[in-house]
Amino acid sequence: MKSILRQLSTPVIAAVLAMLVGGIVAAAIGYNPLQVYGSLLSGAFGNAYNLGNTLAIATPLILIGLGIAVAFRAGLFNIGAEGQYWVAVMCAAWTGYHFTTLPGWLHIILCLLVAMVAGGLWAGIIPGLAKTYRGAHEVITTMMMSYIGILLCKYMIEEGPMRKPGSMPESEAVAQNTWLPVLSPSSPQLTIGLFIAIAAVIVVWFILFHTTIGFQLRTVGLNPRAARYAGIRVTWYTILALGLSGMLAGLAGGVQLLAMDHRLAEGFNTGYGYTGIVVSLLARNNPFGVIVSAIFFAALSTGGQNMQQVTNIPASLTDVLTGLIIFFVAAERLLPQVIQWYRRRTSRVRTSTAGEGPKSA
Amino acid sequence: MTKFLEVINLVKHFPGVKANDGVNLTVHAGEVHSILGENGAGKSTLMKLIYGLYQPDSGEIRLDGKPVHFSSPRDAIRAGIGMVHQHFMLIPALTVTDNIVLGDEPGGIRYHRSEAEARVRALSEQYRLHVDPTARVEQLSVGLQQRVEILKALYRKAKLLILDEPTALLTPQETEELFAVVKHLKEQGIPVVFISHKLDEVRAIADTITVMRAGKTVQTLPIGDATPQQLANLMVGREVVLRIDKQPANPSGVVLNVENLHVVNSARQEKVRGVSMQVRAGEIFGLAGIDGNGQTELVDAIAGLLPVAGGRIHFQDQDITHLSTAERTARGIAYVPQDRQLDGLVLDFTLTENAILRDFHKHPFSKFGVMFSQPAKAYAEKLIHLFDVRPKDITRKAGDLSGGNQQKVILAREVSREPQLLIAVQPTRGLDVGAIEGIHRQLLRLRDEGKAILLVSLELDEILSLSDRIGVLHGGRLVGVVPGETATREQLGLMMTGMSQEQATKEGTTS
């Protein structure tokens, strides 16, 4: 219990500090911080429609953040989730407007599986193999593969074979019966995709902490030399971790395709792959933490739009908040050092005045 | 004799630990004063308090009779205290002179290198610490690097020198040379505080001994009054068996057979050049040698962590030359690696997770890839009780434990796997007398149960007291194999420098 509290303390302190500093920033540029946060909160959670919106945006963030957390657990930085997501959407969309004779549920499963395989291969094959056999750093390779993937998708719908006849650069829509069911008519954005994401969290948690695969993955992440000594095939688990990470980014793409966009189109939602990194960072790579952290960032996004409409405060203030959170989470190691420095300073003051009076200890 | 340094009732608490709890120490001018104690007894804390790295909670430090307060090592150095840490603080790419004068260079903005060299040369003449001032530190042996550290302190006009476990990394010959240096410093009027947990060394060099235990100074006594047994008992706080009685070995069949083995390390240097040796069931085969002469690569190759460049390895009559680490582990090779923190443990894992690190995929810890926490916890509980790991809390992370307890965890895990061959590299490095005794007993117990043991150690005493046969490595070659009963320190020391067995035996007896 104590350790759970300790794990929670850093991200919570980081978020609170960021909100505080964000409030000061808002006040400094002439807005009432209470009004800012009030409109942010009501925009994110104020009614069923807004809440549904927030959870709908949280869904892909949960899945991507989860994937990045898996890679982090194995000591790897998967920076290219955005590209894995896009490639998965492309493959799932193609599957979605073919095979239309399949029953809906089977077609959904097929689309999601294709998305996962596509994302997994995009992350696992080239970055994974390049890392294990040539020592190429995965930060570079996943990022480069990400750009390749995004541009490949653009080509496919602009000039490539997936372009639908017509003026808009977009693909055919996926079959109607693959659209994910909406949970409640009052929040039309929210589908059963949220449950898929939560199920994925539970599965990943189980794999990480209750299977030999997870044990080996975490060992490799914490101490690759000890992993080798323990007889673990470090190279294989490096590829596997990147593959799993890409699979989850791919699943995010698949769910998003079937839930919201239904086709591959220009301006298909972007940025989830990058926000996912922050989600995982704030969750400290804890699968369940990812849910909370994803909802938090989704709320910043939906609440920010509302804030702009209601109070004329630029939504980009939420970007300032995001930046501050990243700073304070990353400053985790800084905080103990600041405390230590302060203690040393006071102890020095104390020793130099020792003998002049009773100590205040 | 005048009191040079006095420590009066010093107390230093860390959260949950009384690291120093009423420490009293008096170092007189012109003496070698040894601080003897187990790991965790508070020796290092005391030295850090004297050196200004920590500030005491209460108590007083006096230098030449005057109370002093050091808020940083800079103050301590200015007051004339020099310290040589166990791990050297040198910059390998710079020359000896540069390292010595660094931060206190002669000249103003322009660095007068020639003047600095002249000063260093004069200093090394005066204290008979011979070392080439123009050599790069990375080209020096460990013993010479230590001299540079001592010169560094003397250059800063140290009036008292603290040596923290100075012999830990030295060969026997280098240790002798260090002792000569220390004696000469004493004659020049510089008192030396010599921290150690090795009884023989302390008795060879010290004038006065202060024994520490559990954060307290237990007793200070002149060297003439102290017997090794008495000192060991004072350190541990109970009766200790110093010389382990061992039954004669009863070796049977060959368990490990290495034939003409060549191993190339990751930097593509050939570190093992044609080693052939055999380890039999029921014997301890000791492998001696100066650090870096191929020991690590040889055992890594046997354990499957490094590929074999040439030759063959047979284990229980089967060729394992190209088997994976996991397969070798499964066949009964246990391995206590040299670096417990880097290889032997995952420091961020709990003791439970570390206990099953090599067997997580086996029944009862897992089935069809699903892991079960209850059997693992029960197993970890059993191990930490059997081997007296402290604290007795399996939810603790391995990184929270002291070095000795970390080593116990590794040894417990490897020994409990019921191996046919145990490879133990430096199994007692940095451990205290009590812990060493326990680990040596375990090794002998395994031997008497008929297991084969390959012991690699830089400590000749350890090799001599445990091994039934001793092989000496030099430059990646096996110089010779001598019976444990007749081997002498001198003979082994000479063989470690590459001298042949016959010649070393001759030299060893004539000198």
Residues B387-419 have pLDDT tens digits of 888 788 899 899 888 777 888 899 999 988 889
Residue B8, SS3? strand
Give DSSP secondary structure letters for B243-271: SPP-PPP---SEEEEEEEEEEE-TTS-EE
Q: Which residues of B touch A214 (CB under 8 A)?
A: 371
User: So what's the pLDDT on residue B162?
Assistant: 93
**Nearest-by-Cβ selection for B357 from A214, A230, A354:** A230
CB B181 within 8 A of CB B147: yes
Written as one letter, the residue type at A312 is N
- pLDDT confidence of A148, banded at 50, 70, 90? very high
Instruction: For residue A36, give the H/E element and its range.
Output: helix A33-45
Q: Which of A215, A225, A231 sits opposite B371 (nearest CB)?
A: A215
| Among chain A residues, CA nearest to B56 | A351
Residue B345 has its nearest CB partner, among A212, A226, A361, at A226
Asked if the bond preceding A224 is cis, omega within 30° of 0, the reply is no
Euclidean distance between CA atoms B496 and B482, whole angstroms: 13
User: Least CB-CB distance to A351: which of B69, B357, B360?
Assistant: B69
CA distance B369 to chain A (A): 5
What are the pLDDT digits (tens) for B94-130?
Answer: 999 999 998 888 877 788 888 899 999 999 888 888 8
Q: Which residue of B has its CA nearest to A220?
A: B346
Cβ contacts of A104 within 8 Å, gap of 6 or more: A175, A177, A178
Could you say which of A213, A216, A229 has the minimum Cβ distance to residue B305?
A: A229
- Beta bridge partners, B335, equal B423
Instruction: Between B406 and A63, name the one with better pLDDT.
Output: A63
Instruction: Say yes or no: ipTM exceeds 0.90.
Output: no
Higher pLDDT, B494 or B358: B358
pLDDT given for residue A178 in this prediction: 87
pLDDT above 70 for B243: no
**Rounded-to-integer distance, Cα B45 and Cα A130, Å:** 47
Mean pLDDT value of segment B298-310: 93
Q: Percent of chain B having pLDDT more than 90?
A: 42
Residue A88 clears pLDDT 50, i.e. is over it? yes
A195 Cβ partners below 8 Å, 6+ apart?
Answer: none
Q: What confidence tens digit (pLDDT) does each residue in B162-191 have?
A: 998 888 777 777 888 899 999 999 988 899
Closest-approach residue (CA) in chain A for B395 = A3
Q: What is the mean pLDDT of residues A277-298?
A: 91
| CB contacts < 8 A (A, B) | 74
pLDDT higher for B172 or B488? B488
In this structure, are residues A115 and A253 in contact, taking their beta carbons and an 8 Å threshold? Answer: yes
Residues with Cβ within 8 Å of B288's Cβ and at least 6 positions away in sequence, in order, are: B457, B458, B460, B463, B470, B471, B472, B473, B492, B495, B496
B-chain residues within 8 Å CB-CB of A211? 366, 369-371
Supply the pLDDT for residue A352.
47
Do the beta carbons of residue B389 and residue B383 sit within 8 Å?
yes
Decide if B357 and A210 are in contact by the 8 Å CB cutoff: no
**Global model pTM greater than 0.80:** no
* Contact residues on chain A for B342, CB-CB shorter than 8 A: 223, 225-226
At residue A57, φ and ψ (nearest 5 deg) are -70, -30
Please give the residue of chain B at the shortest CA–CA distance from A230: B358
By a Cβ cutoff of 8 Å, what residues of chain A touch chain B?
210-216, 218-219, 222-223, 225-233, 347-348, 351-352, 354, 361
Residue A212's nearest CA partner among B254, B366, B454 is B366
Q: Given a cut of 50, is residue A185 above it in pLDDT?
A: yes
Q: How many CB atoms lie within 10 A of CB B128?
A: 14
Q: What is the pLDDT of residue A354?
A: 41
Do B419 and B450 meet the contact criterion of CB atoms below 8 Å apart? no
Mean pLDDT of A239-262: 94
The one-letter amino acid code at B73 reads P
Nearest to B324 among A215, A226, A231 (CB): A231
CA B299 to CA A354: how far, in whole Å? 56
| CA–CA separation, B208 and B4 (whole Å) | 14
* Contact by Cβ (8 Å): B210, B217: yes
CB contact under 8 A, B343 and A225: yes
- How high is the pLDDT of residue B232? 79
Percent of chain A topping pLDDT 70: 89
Interface test with A, best of B74, B357, B370 (most A CBs within 10 A): B357
Largest CA distance in chain B: 74
Q: Do B329 and A231 touch (CB under 8 A)?
A: yes
A351 vs B71: CB contact, 8 Å cut-off? yes
Structure tokens at A65: 């953040």
**Polymer length of chain B:** 511
Whether the predicted pLDDT of B335 surpasses 90? yes
Residue B132 CA to residue B423 CA, distance in Å, equals 40
Q: For the residues B49-56, what does the mean pLDDT come to?
A: 89
Q: Do A229 and B343 touch (CB under 8 A)?
A: yes
Max CA pair span of chain A: 90
Give the per-residue pLDDT at A6.
67
Confirm if B498 and B273 have CB atoms less than 8 A apart. Answer: no
Query: Tokens in use for B460?
Result: 């000749």
CA distance B203 to B226: 8
Cβ of A212 and B71 within 8 Å? no
Q: What is the mean pLDDT of residues B243-267?
A: 86
Contact by Cβ (8 Å): B314, B257: yes
How far, in Å, CA of A326 to CA of A318, rounded?
12
Closest by Cα among B216, B221, B194, B234 to B9: B216
Q: B337 pLDDT exceeds 60?
A: yes
- Give me the residue label for tokens 């002149």: B222
Distance CA A217, CA A233 (A): 10
Scanning the structure block, which residue is given the tokens 């709990």?
B350
CA distances for A129 relative to A122, A137, A216, B63, B216, angstroms:
11, 11, 18, 63, 56
pLDDT of amino acid B256: 95
pLDDT on residue B508: 58
Let me know: does B88 contact B145? Beta carbons within 8 Å: yes
Report d(CA B308, CA B325) in Å as an integer. 13
- Residue A64 CA to residue A248 CA, distance in Å, equals 6
* Residue indicated by tokens 């300073």: A345
CA-wise closest residue to B5 among B161, B133, B110: B161
Helix (H, G, I), strand (E, B) or coil at A208: helix
Q: What is the enclosing helix (H) or strand (E) of B353? A: helix B351-355
For the stretch B27-41, what's the b/e string if a residue is b when 16 or more beta carbons lie within 10 angstroms of its beta carbon? Answer: bebbbbbbbbbbbbb
Residues 6+ apart with CB under 8 A from A99: A107, A110
Q: Which amino acid is at A281?
A: L
3-state SS record for B108-164: CCCCCHHHHHHHHHHHHHHCCCCCCCCCEHHHCCHHHHHHHHHHHHHHCCCCEEEEE
The verdict on a CB contact (< 8 Å) between A222 and B349 is yes
The pLDDT value given to residue A349: 52
Nearest-5° angle of CA B474, CA B476, CA B481? 55
SS3 label, residue B473: strand
**For residues B460 and B482, what is the distance between their CA atoms, to the nearest angstrom?**
13
Inspect the interface and report whether the beta carbons of B71 and A210 lie closer than 8 Å.
no
Query: Using an 8 Å Cβ cutoff, are B216 and B7 in contact?
Result: no
Which residue of chain A has the CA closest to B330? Answer: A231
Q: Is the pLDDT of residue A342 over 80?
A: no
Joined tokens for residue B63: 């230098």
| Amino acid type, B376 | A
Nearest to B105 by CA among B116, B96, B95, B94: B116
Q: Which two tokens stand for residue B44?
A: 């290092």
Query: Which whole number is the average pLDDT over B215-220?
Result: 88
Q: Do A212 and B360 touch (CB under 8 A)?
A: yes
Q: In Å, how far from its chain's centre is CA B337?
A: 14
Judge: A212–B335 Cβ closer than 8 Å, yes or no: no
From CA B425, how far away is CA B423, in angstroms rounded?
A: 7
Residue A18 CA, chain-centre distance (Å), reads 19
- pLDDT interval class at B510 (50, 70, 90): low
Does residue A360 have a pLDDT over 50?
Answer: no
B82 touches B146 (CB < 8 A) = no
Residue corresponding to tokens 């055999």: B278
B199 pLDDT band, cuts 50/70/90, is confident
Which residues lie closer than 8 Å to A355 by C-beta, 6 or more apart? Answer: none
Of B303, B326, B346, the CB nearest to A219: B346
Q: How many residues does chain A have?
A: 361
Segment among A120-129, A283-292, B216-225 with least mean pLDDT: B216-225
Tell me the torsion sign for CA atoms B189, B190, B193, B198.
Answer: negative
pLDDT value for A220: 95
